[in-house]
Amino acid sequence: MQVAGRICIVTGAGSGIGRAIAHALREKGAEVVVSDINEAASNQVAAEVDGLSIPCDVTDPKAISGLFEKARDWKGRVDLVCSNAGFAKGEPEGPTSASDDHWQQSFDVHVMAHLRLSRLALPEMLERGEGCLVNVASAAGLLSQIGDAAYSATKYAAVSLAQSLAIEHGSQGIHVSVVCPQYVATPLLGYDNAADGDQSGRILSPRNVADCLIEGLQNDRFLILPHPEVHDYALKRATDMERWIKGMQKLKAKVDASGSSDLKDFHKLL
């Protein structure tokens, strides 16, 4: 899929990966609707990409409906939906220590937001015979994130939802992609928007991820892995689950010994 001339919605676009995606799409000739729960950030990025700002809390179904309707009215259609909004809080006492509210919020942001946007966008895309649905999930949706079961579980669900959308609608002109990066230099990890990642390739810049997405769209790829090694990790996990679990248990012990499972600290152990 070529993005030039496409009308695109990007959620969570006020910072980090979403901001980088908005810029990358615009540079390739797309028209971009920038959406973020932070109104000031949404407005700022929209100004940077000469786009339309529509602030939105993606956990609110009515707000999502409003986002889509305003985006469609802007240029008359929506060609690409990129659900990028996400968050992580962590569970220092293990998976069951997180509250029901934490689990529900994780599901609403990482799964239901994309489902609701897809539900709104698909009818018109199917009528035109073309469209694109992108979910920025995480390598945690293929592997696991120690210290945040709600994040991992809902990212797994996001990947599964993307698979279902691709299977059900791929023959109808709908392209589906899911992006699964590992660690990226975003505010989630304590970096600012100017961060470039590191030279080892372990921590990518948001722009690295955005460029991988564009390249993946141009080559009609479903699974986009900005960290290529994730493919090998996932293969090892699928081939020998028992060995994988034992290896993750060893990593968990290393995290415990460090004294912090916070993502801002955890990624530095790898």
pLDDT top residue among 263 and 190: 190
User: How is the beta sheet containing 131-136 ordered, strand by strand?
Assistant: 52-53, 31-34, 7-10, 80-83, 131-136, 174-179, 223-224
Quickly tell me which residue has 């959620």 as its tokens.
11
Which range, of 4-13, 40-49, 66-75, 178-187, averages the lowest pLDDT?
178-187
Q: What is the pLDDT of residues 94-131, one digit of tens each?
A: 899 999 999 999 999 999 999 999 999 999 999 999 99
* Calpha distance 104→29 (Å, rounded): 37
pLDDT top residue among 269 and 229: 229
- Predicted model pTM: 0.92
pLDDT of 221 higher than 90:
yes
pLDDT of 199 higher than 80:
no
- Residue 193 CA to its chain's centroid (Å): 16
Contact (CB, 8 A) for 44 and 24? no
Report how far apart the first and last C-alpha atoms of the chain are (Å, whole number). Answer: 35
- Asked if 151 is an active-site residue, the reply is yes
The confidence score (pLDDT) of residue 89 equals: 87
Q: Where are the domains of the chain?
A: 7-236
Q: Of 151, 156, 183, 191, which is the active-site residue?
A: 151
131, containing H or E segment: strand 131-136
The confidence score (pLDDT) of residue 106 equals: 97
CA-closest candidate to residue 71, choices 54, 48, 47: 54
The confidence score (pLDDT) of residue 257 equals: 87
CATH number for the segment(s) 7-236: 3.40.50.720
* Calpha distance 147→260 (Å, rounded): 9
**Rounded (10°) CA dihedral 52, 60, 140, 84:** -10
